[in-house]
Structure 1
Amino acid sequence: MRVDQYLTSLAATLAAVPREPLRAVEEALWQTYLRDGTIIICGNGGSAANASHFACDLAKWTLTDGRRRVRAIALTDNVPVMTAWSNDSAYERVFVEQVISLYRPGDTLVAISGSGNSPNVLRAVEWMAAQGATTIGLTGFAGGKLAGLAQIVVVVPSHCMPEVEDAHSAICHSLAVALGERISAEPV
């Protein structure tokens, strides 16, 4: 059955995701929280859905009574701004124009791109890096250009876009859970 083949392949892909970069991402998100920075997330298509979902999980799953909340925003969630920049400038500027407006020192960008070659994602990473911000890339395939631009990169070892996007979803869930657990473990 094809469903069984897909799920077996996905399980193998998840098992092969390198853990050291994941630990580095977890630590970068923790440090962003400690300095009261914002975790800014972007992506296209399925990666846009993962960006929105990740921002939601960071805002909700990390809640602990008596603790400061996590600042997280998905640049994919303001459709009017995205269409305005696409129409008036260029689609490759939809994320960078938003980060230019939103960025504060201490913020971190999580850029999600299955191929690692989305020009709008790359422009945001370039701009944030030029500000000295922490940049994180979640990608697949061979990593694309994103692997050479982001400071911390997790490359899902698959050339199947649905598997890459599923793995990114699982990675984002694991990071939100881990951040919530670290916040809960901190003394008040």
Structure 2
Amino acid sequence: MKKEEFLQAVEELEKALKHVSFEEIKTVADEIIDAFKKGHTLFICGNGGSAADAQHMAAEFVNRFLKEREPLPAIALTTDTSNITSIANDYSFDNVFEKQLKALSKSGDILIGISTSGNSKNIVRAFETAREIGVKTVGLLGRDGGVLRNISDYAIVVKSHSTPRIQEVHTFIIHAICQMVEDAFA
């Protein structure tokens, strides 16, 4: 790794701060706050590094981010390997999130899909299923937002073509959302 790569990461974050709407991030946090106050659940999904981001975000809500507070109901749909592998084996990997969402969610819940391309088929299918159930959708996306940009209730797009840089900005946005939500409950 070279010093230039660190500087590139800082540049991407600065660029994202210019192009990512703070108001949209705040609106998403407010939607999550409202859902939690009404007894609803936050579901989060992604693939690869974005799966790790989904698990990270769920843990920040279930445990805590910075302050002591009661646990908040968040589930990463990326963690149950028995469900994921049985669904992928019996149907398709494209179904791994939608099947779990059908089993676990209800109208009023929220689904965050994290995709650096915005085109992950399993997240697209989960968003289509969410719409049928009445689950609000938030796309945390990269590049031009892909297909998910157009089918999300809220789309936060990091305009970059570098997957590592997109993921770094996604982490920043996840932490911002976690802090705003936690401030409402701590």
CA contact (8 A) 1:29 1:39 kept: yes
Q: Does the residue aligned with 1:155 lie in a helix, a strand or coil?
A: strand
CA contact (8 A) 1:61 1:177 kept: no
Cα-Cα RMSD: 1.5
Query: What percent identity do the matched residue pairs reach?
Result: 31
For structure 1, which runs of at least 5 residues remain unmatched after alignment? none
Question: For residue 38 of structure 2, what is the aligned residue in structure 1?
Answer: 35
**In structure 2, what residue type is equivalent to 1:176?**
C
Residue deviations 1:51-108 (CA, integer Å, cap 9, x gap): 000000111226645x5x3100000011121111111110000000000110123211
Q: Which residue of 2 aligns with 1:91?
A: 93
Shift in Å at residue 7 of structure 1?
Answer: 2.8
Alpha-carbon distance in structure 2 between the residues aligned to 1:21 and 1:96 = 25
The count of aligned residue pairs is 182
Following the alignment from structure 1 to structure 2, what is the Cα–Cα distance between the partners of residues 13 and 58?
28
Residue 176 of structure 1 deviates from its aligned partner by: 1.0
TM-score (norm 2): 0.92
User: Partners of 2:108 and 2:161 in 1: how far apart?
Assistant: 34
Distance 1:11 1:101 in 2: 37
Contact 2:139 2:149 in 1 (8 A): yes
* Correspondences of 1:61-140 after superposition (within 5 Å): 61=64, 64-65=68-69, 67=70, 69-140=71-142
Tell me the TM-score normalized by structure 1.
0.91
